[in-house]
Amino acid sequence: MAKDSTKHALLGILLIPLIYAFVLRFDATSLRSWAIQLREPQKEADVGQEQLRNQDDEFRVPSKENSIDAEITRLNLQQLLTGKSQEDLLQNEIACIATTYSDMCVTTSAVAIHITTSNTTNLYLTGNQKLPSGTSNITIRPYPRKIDLPAMIRTSPVNLHQANATAAMPPCDVNHAVPAVIFSTGGFAGNFFHDINDLLIPLFLTSSLLRPNVRLILTDYESWWAKKYQRVLSAVSFYDIITSPTNDIAGKIHCFPGAVVGLTYHGHLSCNKTKAPGNLTTVDFLHFLHSSLFLKAHEPPESVATQKEKPLMVLISRRNSRTLLNEEEVINLAKEVGFRVEIATPKAMSDLQSIAELIHSCRVLLGVHGAGLTNMVFLSPGSVLVQVVPWGLDWVSKAYYHQPTYGMGLKYVEYKINIEESTLIEKYPIDHQVIVDPLSIHKKGYQVSKPIYIDGQNVRLNLTRFRKTLETAMQLAEF
């Protein structure tokens, strides 16, 4: 009998880390799918993707938040910082970091957040936090694009106040059992590159050790933005989003056991596993994104001899600037080379789910440099990105789309246009500085270069030259 008791005790001890991994560290998207299956056990294995997605949109964990061990929450919040800032957090229960792109504050102690009709959000440090000597408040604009003043102007501040006798807070209207992550959907939100680069990747990184037991507070809230990315946001948190400003004139005091103000940022369309919170790669983000949108994993492409149909190329079609003037001819050329071709228009790209599924099903994504190429985040591993680089945009093309392909596991082909393929040649003499020395124009500032190279040119590809690029893409798509 004693031996049986000992065995049961040992078994219980061994199960503890498994329970911890399942309950606290389980990926939110996997947990969500698991819960749906429990709710509908009679489903057959071949339930359609659309039916499953519809059920997912309806599925919500009850509004009452899960009770999470305070020490686990504290440890997870601490992993968002490293070095001196982590030491400060351990000692003062609050620490802030400032990088080129973002500011972020983390507190492992209680806070009270006053949500009102004002665009300004006030957070009161009601625990044992200690701000630096002589500091009574800190202001954060929680959008990771500090290098761009226009983005910061569109981002409302969050003020962190040291609670004291003169800054006493009224009682909490709502007590939360989970920490909060506060960020803004101001800035450049609405541009797809910035939605992914400035918001969804940083949110993935910042929430990685907290989700799904975290509350999101969106400042500068836009309902259309939250609706567009509803499935992604619900994979981060099972709970309703708290929005600021609110329509409630009286406002409410929301109290949390800890909070993060701002988002951590690693670089253009990338996650760096050597940076906090650690061990997260861009491929991890892609897996998270694809899972949240229920995109099916694709098998490696078949060889040319066994392929049943031609590889699919999706062409990102632009309308306002950097337009491909001979788009129809390029499409016909791609078909001659051996591709099936689908066109992704600006209207089509407004439907996140549909465009994600289309891009995920193709082998090659083609487009002129611009935000539409950010749809490469939906490509399957091993797919090909073909970027047409307009005149004078070499650096941004490399930084924003070429370099990130390495971390995404994609293949990359580049076509740099000649000046004869740019409409700039119709506006400036061949020896003009705009033509012969784009770098000197860029040095004058973005407000000078943007109207010329970003907004002021279209392209007409030399089909003879471009054929070689398409043939290279075909070869890469087949293996």
Instruction: Report the C-alpha gap between 135 and 162 in whole angstroms.
Output: 8
Mean pLDDT value of segment 1-19: 50
CB 435 within 8 A of CB 390: no
This prediction's pTM: 0.87
pLDDT score at 41: 36
Cβ pair 356, 378 in contact under 8 A: yes
pLDDT attached to residue 24: 40
**30 pLDDT exceeds 50?**
no
Across 53-62, 114-123, 393-402, least confident range = 53-62
Check pLDDT > 70 for residue 166.
no
Q: Which residue has the tokens 């939360």?
A: 176
List the single range of 30-39, 114-123, 207-216 with lowest mean pLDDT. 30-39
Indicate the pLDDT class of residue 193, thresholds 50, 70 and 90.
very high
pLDDT at 61 over 90: no
CA atoms of 113 and 126, how far apart (whole Å): 10
Share of the chain above pLDDT 70, in %: 83
Read off the pLDDT of each residue in 292-302 and give the average, rounded to a whole number.
Answer: 74
Q: Which pLDDT belongs to residue 433?
A: 98
In the predicted structure, residue 132 carries a pLDDT above the cut 70 = yes
CA dist., res. 69 & res. 178, Å (int): 9
Share of the chain above pLDDT 90, in %: 76
- Burial (CB < 10 A; 0-12, 13-18, 19+), residue 86, is middle
The rounded distance, in Å, linking the Cα atoms of 164 and 126 is: 8
pLDDT exceeds cutoff 70 at 14: no
β 174-175/158-162 pair status: unpaired
Q: How many residues does the chain have?
A: 479
pLDDT averaged over every residue in the chain:
88
The predicted-structure confidence for 387-408, as pLDDT tens digits, reads as follows 999 999 999 999 999 999 999 9
Query: What's the confidence (pLDDT) of residue 174?
Result: 95
Residue 171: pLDDT band with limits 50, 70, 90 = confident
Q: Which of 64, 265, 249, 98 is nearest to 174 (CA)?
A: 64
Please tell me the predicted confidence (pLDDT) of residue 165. 57
Asked if residue 150 has a cis previous peptide bond (ω within 30° of 0), the answer is: no
Mean pLDDT, residues 206-215 taken together: 96
Summarize pLDDT for 425-467 with one digit per residue, the tens: 999 999 999 999 999 999 999 999 999 999 999 999 999 999 9
pLDDT in tens, 320-357: 999 999 999 999 999 999 999 999 999 999 999 999 99
Q: Give the separation between CA 337 and CA 219, rounded to whole angstroms.
A: 49
What pLDDT, in 10s, does the model give residues 79-88?
999 999 999 9
pLDDT, one tens digit per residue, over 248-286 is 877 899 999 999 999 999 999 999 999 999 999 999 999
